[in-house]
Structure 1
Amino acid sequence: MDSIKKAILYARYSPRPGVSDSIEKQFERLRAWCVATDVRVAAEYSDEAISGKSIEGRSGLDKAIAHACRIKGILAAYDLSRITRNVGDASRILEKLREKNVELILLQERVDTTTPIGRCMFHVMASFAQLYREQIAERTALAMRKHQAAGRRMGRIDRPPYGFRVSSEDSNILELDEIEQAIIARIVQLRSEGETHRGICNVLEAEGLLRRGKSWKNSQGLVARILARAESVD
């Protein structure tokens, strides 16, 4: 009888034609972990998505969870944010995996979800991931409301500032763009880790993220404006 553990690897990324560094780096680290721990890779799944706000429409994640439950093996991802930044979704996924005796491995967090303490830490991390995403959105929305309340448009209405889009109900109103807000959150995170504006552009480029269909290369000015706007609201 085969006693070697089997793992289902999952990665989430934003695709860019000709660039696959982000997903490959995730899978490379996961494969390396499998080799180091004598775990066999049973399958690999991924999603072409940016925001981790919801698991809706994530067919790759659905297939990965279903496959891991079917073989009662391991579901492995690089970190929790690759799976979700939503507390409710994280709890439901963990519970489903537990019911099927599937072990969840998150390389960055190193949390053992088979123990009560590990599960507690998992929920704490999920809560902070969601809080981080919501705070960024809240701060940016507040800045937008202050500008609009003062009778000032945040740039040309046909060219809304990064992180916003023109409302489909009122062309004079701007609303949050969830995908761009997720990238803004990533920019703020990278800055907090000590990255320069150029370094942030390089990371976004390497991760395959797009700036409204364009490359982030040499976009230090936009990064600086995004950070200034995020920091302008206490």
Structure 2
Amino acid sequence: MKIGYARISTGDQSLDLQHDALIRAGCELLFEDSGVSGTATKRPGLDKALARLGSGDVLVVWRLDRLGRSQRHLIELVHQLGERQVGFISLTEAIDTTSPGGKLVFRLMGALAEYEHSMIRERVVAGIAAAKHRGKHIGRPRKLTPEQIEHARKVIEEGLQTPAGMAALLGVDHSTLWRALRAAKPPAPAVRGRQAAERRPMVAGVR
């Protein structure tokens, strides 16, 4: 059975586009998260979808960024599905792990993600070493720049570094980085309607 998952980050957006695409793809059951950010760790709708999937089923999403919090998280999820004999389809990117070609694409994505992780880690280490060589102070700065804050957010969201590890690299304590990230983050929109729901789409007049 094909099970669809849809997500929007704000109540101002509509799930209709994703629902229509998932139904056309043959999904018999839909789960959703409405008003849930892509970086959120709690997604009730996704949790229900993952719990409902069994061997031979296929999880379908409209686009890759609807599923994973980051590239690494996405790859881990799809790998876990594969271990459960569950397929994965992303309609926009035309990725289908139930086919040999689709499996190959995801293996390549995993290799590229690991390569990117290694390169970022090497650049961070090299940057610190170069700063020490030039005699620059790399201890606690009085204030983090907007560029540092945005870089820290991206690295943490991609799972490339823990908040504590990123704070250490920037020379600040954990609480300083946390306050800077919160201050720079726009207020989260109010959640409208159901946060997570299970729907059976209309298929050939059957609810």
Class of the TM-score when normalised by the shorter of the 2 chains: 0.5 to 0.7
Pairs within 5 Å for 1:120-199: 120-153=104-137, 157-162=141-146, 177=152, 179-181=153-155
Q: Which moved more, 1:88-97 or 1:106-115?
A: 88-97
Give the structure 1 partner of residue 39 of structure 2.
50
Identify which of structures 1 and 2 has the higher relative contact order when contacts are C-alpha pairs closer than 8 Å and 6+ apart. 2
CA contact (8 A) 2:2 2:28 kept: yes
How far apart, in 2, do the equivalents of 1:118 and 1:183 lie?
Answer: 26
Deviations 1:81-110 (A, max 9, x none): 842523872463232442xxx431113331
Cα displacement (A) at 1:164: 5.3
1:64 to 49, 52, 58: 49
- The one-letter amino acid of 2:123's match is R
1:213 to 185, 188, 200: 185
SS at the partner of 1:104? strand
Give the structure 2 partner of residue 74 of structure 1.
59
SS at the partner of 1:95? helix
How far apart, in 2, do the equivalents of 1:136 and 1:45 lie?
Answer: 32
**Is 1:85 matched up with 2:71?**
yes
TM-score (norm. length: structure 1): 0.49
How far apart, in 1, do the equivalents of 2:131 and 2:154 lie?
Answer: 19
**Percent of pairs with identical residues:** 18
Cα separation, partners in 2 of 1:41 and 1:72, compared to 1, 3 Å? same
Cα separation, partners in 2 of 1:149 and 1:116, compared to 1, 3 Å? same
CA contact (8 A) 1:75 1:105 kept: yes
How far apart, in 1, do the equivalents of 2:132 and 2:146 lie?
Answer: 16
Pairs within 5 Å for 1:24-39: 24=13, 27-39=15-27
CA RMSD of aligned residues (A): 4.4
**Structure 1 stretches lacking a partner, 5+ long:** 14-18, 52-56, 166-175, 185-208, 216-234
TM-score (norm. length: structure 2): 0.53
